[in-house]
Structure 1
Amino acid sequence: MNKAAKTCESILQSAETLFSEQGFERTSLREITQVANVNLASVNYHFGSKKGLIQAVMARYQTVFMPALQEELDKLNGQSNVNTKKLLACFVRPLSQLEQVRPGGASIYLKLLGYAYSEIQGHLRAYTMQRFGETIRFVFGLFHEANAHLSAETLFWRLHFALGTVLFAQVSTQALCEIAQADFDDPAPEEEMLNRLLPYIAAGIAAIE
């Protein structure tokens, strides 16, 4: 890896760590350059702006997650018995593959995604739709087919409520597991969390209006 590539990677790693810990708005370029031990000109050279850096950090995960999700969805496409629970299960392997990006990749990606929504990073939504809009529209279409009794607006809200539930479970994993261990003597609650979560989310999405 040459010097320019090392500088770029250092900036990305530092930005990712700070963004996932503090959010996008609270993290300044000055902090990132200090952690990465580079100057501001290097950030501008490689990424153009803070928005460009945010997009580059998310892209590292999206370029792994989105194609893997599309692959899982393609397996269901055309089947006559597709339901909400099967669609949600399509997200499990793509999330696990984010460990290829870095250890704890799924957790980091979900934290970043949470900040993208809570801090209204509109540019990030536009960037994601430009690159992966086909996959996103495809998955929304399959959810609509599996829940034909719901209006498009209701489905929009329920899918985002479901995402909020996932994000809460992710950021609260340690606390929830400690409570489960203390109150129910559960030796490994984290291992079963996803199995408990998916049926709950599926039922919430598919519920009759």
Structure 2
Amino acid sequence: MAQKETAQRILDAAEALFSEKGFAETSLRNITTKAGVNLAAVNYHFGSKKSLIQAIFARYLTPFSEQFSDQLDIIELRKNTPDQLLKLLVITLNKSGLENPEKFGVFMRLLGLAYSQGQGHLRKFLTSEYGEVFSRYMKEINRVTPELTPMERFWRIHFMLGAAVFTMSSVDSLMAMAEHDLGTETDVKGVISQLMPFLATGLMANV
């Protein structure tokens, strides 16, 4: 088996198990069994369980952050609104391949687990690898919300993140529910188009 294929199988197995069972509940033995490899292969390609978790996030966030940086180069030259800044995320998702419902749902479940299961190493990794581009984005958020105090802005951003993680981590189920209850089919873009105005209104509530 080619080395690249082996690493891919390990990543695929770990991603599926982490999103289903959680980081703490998934052992390296679980991962090697599902991937059909031995522990030496995991150690060779990733070195540790923490590094494996980081590699899973990197394969989503590296293409996303590259596209995000390109989009920020454009918007930093103009006057923006909160709604436009949120739409920027949608544009970036569409350009980086995360518009696939299954893929997007898995990533959002992993993101939610990163917050709920205390993966301190992961937060350090994300800050180190992607902190610059997201700091640029937060600078724009700060610029369009001067009426908010730092505390208000902090909580609203995290409430927005919580709503987004909940919605998009269960996007398949929500689309099925919408079809059953409303008799209309939708897709990820349709769900996001409903979510974005809600988030923008929450960010600017009573301002």
**So what's the TM-score if we normalise by structure 1?**
0.89
Q: Residue in 2 aligned with 1:89?
A: 87
Q: Residue in 2 aligned with 1:27?
A: 26
Residues 144-196 of structure 1: CA deviation (Å, up to 9, x unaligned)? 11101011221111111111111111233344334433333334375522111
Distance 1:6 1:187, change over 3 A: closer
| Counterpart-to-counterpart distance in 1, 2:173 and 2:196 | 19
| Counterpart-to-counterpart distance in 2, 1:101 and 1:28 | 30
Q: Residue in 2 aligned with 1:62?
A: 61
In terms of mean alpha carbon deviation, does 95-104 or 174-183 score higher?
95-104
Alignment length (residue pairs): 207
| Counterpart-to-counterpart distance in 2, 1:144 and 1:8 | 40
In terms of mean alpha carbon deviation, does 56-65 or 100-109 score higher?
100-109
Q: 1:109 Cα shift? A: 1.6
Q: Is the 8 A contact 1:68 1:93 kept in 2?
A: no
In terms of mean alpha carbon deviation, does 36-45 or 55-64 score higher?
36-45
| Counterpart-to-counterpart distance in 1, 2:105 and 2:174 | 15
Q: Is the 8 A contact 1:149 1:208 kept in 2?
A: no
Q: What is the percent sequence identity of the aligned residues?
A: 38
Distance 1:50 1:37, change over 3 A: same
Select the residue among 181, 196, 199 that pairs with 1:198.
196
Q: Residue in 1 aligned with 2:164?
A: 166
Given residue 138 of structure 2, which amino acid in structure 1 is its aligned partner?
F
Gaps of 5+ in 1: none
Distance 1:190 1:138, change over 3 A: closer
Q: 1:200 Cα shift? A: 0.6
Q: Is the 8 A contact 2:82 2:144 kept in 1?
A: yes
Q: 1:98 Cα shift? A: 4.3
Q: Could you say what the CA RMSD is over the residues aligned between the two structures, in angstroms?
A: 2.2
- Helix, strand or coil for the counterpart of 1:91? helix
Gaps of 5+ in 2: none
Residues 8-49 of structure 1: CA deviation (Å, up to 9, x unaligned)? 221111111111222212111110000111111221221111
Q: Residue in 2 aligned with 1:153?
A: 151
| Counterpart-to-counterpart distance in 1, 2:188 and 2:4 | 37
Q: Note the 1:97-116 alignment, pairs <5 A.
A: 97-99=95-97, 104-116=102-114
